Structure 1
Amino acid sequence: MAQMEAIPGVILAGGLSSRMGQDKARLRLGGLSLLDRAIKRLQPQVSTLAVNANGPVLFEPGAELPVFADLDASRSGPLGGVLAALDHARRHHPGAHHVATVPTDSPFFPADLVARLAHAADGPERIATARSAGGPHPVFALWPVALFEDLSAWLAGGGALRVRSYLERHRAREVSFPTIETPRGAFDPFFNINTPDDLAAAENWLWILER
């Protein structure tokens, strides 16, 4: 079991957001940007928090965090962000065995995400990831800092950019999270915003969940 008090968190905000047509981290949901919603959701669950982004980042006043880019400009997808997160953790938090990552586009992720992933990470080199009724959510994960060199070699050697391919190689442990029962039916807490229609649906769910 990973020690929760020693787990830094990183919000992955470096994607291109091609289906949305703009930077998803800046989209506003219920008056807050998706980035700031991710900050408010993850910050109580980790020891420290930073943001991985490959461009300018806008924070709410008083919510500024350390920001770092991918280690190269190859646009190697979420795994490039994970590699940067591992590098940031090993340089700035040398006592940490794992780092937790979340994307910006799933604003309702569980408040006990990191605690449950930490419980499943039964060793310093075990990856733990989330899944729900909607399937696996490989970017919601706890990553061993010791895998930095391995992941770096994987990407440099042309390894698949799919996060799940890398997870399968390391026999990552999946943690199942339940749906949320609401007056409108079951809701997956990992609801993902990829399109303008998804954002509109998220506004409706936000109203239901915060009643």
Structure 2
Amino acid sequence: MSEKIKNVTAAVLCGGKSSRMGFDKAFLKDNEQYLLVQTVQKLQTLFTQVVLISNTKTKFSDQKEFCGIPVLEDLFSEKGPIGGISTALKQAQTEYVFIMACDMPLPDVNLIGKMYRGLNLEQVFVCSYRKKPEPLFAFYHKSCLPVFEKHIEKGELRPRSTFSFLKVGIYELNDEEKKSIVNLNTPKDIQKWNQTNNKQ
């Protein structure tokens, strides 16, 4: 895609507790570089607006690598990914937001561009692998926000629980495209990812 996408804000969710990893996944590194910074740089080739959604802005303030990357503080504290998505929808100036998680090391901008071109008035356009939707690699329209807020009020915090109340489109991933939704939750996941990518 030659021209950047202007009517979508890309938002990377960085507010999780990372309890299984043992340290904050926002600071995962690859060859001494933060994976999150690499992800932002990839997204910036596609989107004019890229932001981080975090439980606290201050965790990035001492890291010079993150200087210049906008950070939005989560407006729905302790509400998990649905709170992060809602924060992005509430604060974005664009019609849609593209959401992904900070622990996905291999986002394919060509795939994201293909998904964007497949958007056709859906409120949610989510990728799926073997019929299992991945709500943290998806486009969400501003009109999703009231539904999300209602679910947060009721304590229903799984983004997928909102899908039956929204117009949802599905992009079914092939085996190659599945790499984009690989996420790193544990030290074992990192080890496996390094081996798969021939890194020592």
TM range (shorter): 0.7 to 0.9
Q: Are 2:175 and 1:179 equivalent residues in the alignment?
A: yes
1:112 paired residue number: 110
Calculate the aligned-residue CA RMSD, in Å.
2.4
2:119 paired residue number: 121
Shift of 1:159: 4.8
Match of 1:83 among 81, 86, 97: 86
User: Could you list the runs of 4 or more consecutive aligned residues of structure 1 that deviate by over 4 angstroms after TM superposition?
Assistant: none
Shift of 1:207: 3.2
- Give 1 or 2: higher strand fraction: 2
| CA shift digits 1:48-69 (9 cap, x unpaired) | 0110011312655375311112
Asked if 2 retains the 8 angstrom alpha-carbon contact of 1:10 and 1:101, the reply is yes
TM-score (norm 2): 0.85
Q: Are 2:146 and 1:149 equivalent residues in the alignment?
A: yes
Asked if 2 retains the 8 angstrom alpha-carbon contact of 1:178 and 1:188, the reply is no
2:48 paired residue number: 47
Q: Which runs of 5+ in 2 are unaligned?
A: none
Match of 2:68 among 64, 72, 92: 64
Q: Are 2:38 and 1:34 equivalent residues in the alignment?
A: no
What code does the residue aligned with 1:22 have?
F
What code does the residue aligned with 1:203 have?
N
Distance change in 2, residues 1:71/1:110 (3 Å): same
User: What are the within-5 Å matches in structure 2 for residues 159-198 of structure 1?
Assistant: 159-180=155-176, 188-198=179-189
| CA shift digits 1:92-122 (9 cap, x unpaired) | x2xx210111101111122223322222321
Match of 1:139 among 136, 140, 157: 136
Shift of 1:163: 1.3
Q: Which runs of 5+ in 1 are unaligned?
A: 182-186
